[in-house]
């Protein structure tokens, strides 16, 4: 549905987006990650046709956004950053206006507005003007605007920004429910959001894509991924480490905590050996040594660790 090819955007001498390519199909939810100023919003603005790209091409549903803007924009629902809205309009008026620009009139418009109101739980504020709304309601009003014509492509710039935890949860649920029938791109700073809702994630830094994969694939790039975490009681940490180090395939060990006779330790595997089952080997070792094993699990890696490792400038990473 969405195809982005070699997209570049320059603002004067500053290169905001540099050679970004990806595509999103119906049924996919693409999470857009990156530090502030990485080029997430600029990319989204180019996809929605707000900024013309310096070079490169965006097609939505087969329509080039620069050459056939009207046809392409018809397919898109867009929630811009900071969820703007006309301050002096009521929520209902604003949604009706959006629906009308989407070509909905009469009963069809009424139905579409009511449906969007229901999806975003705006019943209580329908007749309030937008400048009197709380941040959460304002955000959901703008979200409703992007959904009013039931678009095939949904592009959301930080859809959960400024919402309380319950509202965040609701919006994520909404995104997941819509995922089956739409192609969705959303940007966020919240990494667990990506794990929870996205089928794929892209990390963008200083205008270029630095990682692209499923959340699980990205997490696997974490140093922690595949490490075996054990918690024991009644074993000295030195003895534990010494034994762990002798397990074949362990390249490095560390003590996580050591207090009140309980020791938590981690053993890092040799990642080049794909057949290695370190957890089983360590469990067998524990049985052999008659350790009191309270907990053992394999780490899946942490997305924020991957994120930091990829996006921090090299000078900062050294510390």
Partner 1 sequence: MNSWNNIKTITKRELGGYFTSPIAYVFLIIFLLLTGFFTFTIGNFFERGEASLVSFFTWHPWLYLFLVPAVGMRLWSEERRLGTMELLLTMPLTTWQAIVGKFLASWLFLALALALTFPVWITVNWLGAPDNGIIAAGYVGSLFLAGSYLAISCMTSALTRNQVISFILSVVICLFFILAGYTPVTDLLTRFASPVVVDIIASFSVMTHFEGFQRGVIDLRDFLFFASVIGFALFTTGVIIRSQRAG
Residues of the shown chain interacting with partner 1 in the complex, contacts defined by CB under 8 A: 9-12, 16, 45, 48-52, 54, 69-71, 73-74, 76, 78, 80-82, 84-89, 93, 97-98, 100-103, 129, 142, 145
- Beta carbon of residue 28, minimum distance to partner 1 (angstroms, whole number): 21
- In the complex with partner 1, the residue whose CB is nearer, 145 or 279, is 145
- Beta carbon of residue 178, minimum distance to partner 1 (angstroms, whole number): 19
250 token code pair = 């362990």
- In the complex with partner 1, the residue whose CB is nearer, 145 or 167, is 145
- In the complex with partner 1, the residue whose CB is nearer, 44 or 163, is 44
225 token code pair = 């991924």
Round to whole Å and give the CA distance between 171 and 137.
12
DSSP letter string, 113-130: HHHHHHHTT-GGGTTSBG
- What are the strands, taking DSSP E only, across the chain? 2-11, 14-24, 29-33, 55-60, 63-64, 76-79, 153-157, 183-187, 200-205, 208-213, 228-233, 250-259, 262-269, 292-298
- In the complex with partner 1, the residue whose CB is nearer, 85 or 301, is 85
- Beta carbon of residue 226, minimum distance to partner 1 (angstroms, whole number): 43
- In the complex with partner 1, the residue whose CB is nearer, 6 or 245, is 6
- In the complex with partner 1, the residue whose CB is nearer, 9 or 40, is 9
Report the 10 Å Cβ neighbour count for 86. 12
- Beta carbon of residue 49, minimum distance to partner 1 (angstroms, whole number): 6
- Beta carbon of residue 75, minimum distance to partner 1 (angstroms, whole number): 9
- Beta carbon of residue 259, minimum distance to partner 1 (angstroms, whole number): 52
Helices (H), ranges, 124-236: 135-147, 165-178, 191-197, 215-220
- Judge whether 311 and 34 are in contact, CB under 8 Å: yes
DSSP character at residue 18: E
């Amino acid at each position: 549905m969405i195809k982005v090819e070699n997209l570049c955007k320059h603002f004067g001498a500053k290169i905001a987006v540099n050679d970004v390519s990806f595509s999103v199909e119906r049924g996919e939810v693409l999470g857009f990650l990156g530090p502030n100023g990485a080029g997430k919003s600029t990319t989204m603005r180019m996809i929605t046709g707000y900024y013309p790209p310096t070079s490169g091409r965006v097609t939505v549903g087969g329509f080039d956004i620069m050459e056939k803007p009207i046809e392409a924009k018809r397919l898109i629902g867009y929630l811009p950053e900071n969820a703007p809205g006309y301050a002096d309009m009521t929520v209902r008026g604003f949604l009706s206006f959006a629906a009308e620009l989407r070509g909905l009139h009469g009963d069809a418009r009424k139905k579409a507005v009511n449906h969007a109101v229901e999806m975003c739980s705006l019943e209580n504020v329908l007749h309030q003007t937008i400048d009197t709304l709380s941040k959460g309601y304002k955000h959901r009003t703008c979200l409703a605007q992007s959904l009013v014509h039931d678009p095939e492509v949904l592009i959301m710039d930080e859809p959960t920004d400024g919402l309380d935890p319950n509202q965040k949860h609701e919006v994520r649920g909404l995104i997941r429910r819509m995922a089956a029938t739409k192609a969705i791109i959303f940007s966020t700073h919240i990494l667990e959001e990506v794990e929870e809702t996205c089928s794929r994630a892209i990390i963008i830094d200083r205008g270029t894509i630095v990682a692209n994969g499923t959340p699980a694939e990205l997490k696997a790039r974490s140093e922690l991924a595949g490490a075996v975490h054990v918690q024991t009681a009644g074993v000295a940490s030195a003895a534990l480490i010494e034994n762990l180090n002798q397990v074949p395939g362990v390249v490095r060990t560390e003590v996580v905590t050591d207090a009140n006779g309980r020791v938590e330790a981690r053993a890092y595997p040799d990642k080049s050996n794909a057949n290695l089952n370190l957890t089983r080997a360590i469990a067998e070792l524990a049985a052999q040594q008659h350790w009191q094993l309270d907990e053992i699990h394999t780490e899946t890696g942490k997305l924020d660790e991957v994120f930091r490792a990829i996006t921090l400038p090299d000078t900062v990473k050294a510390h």
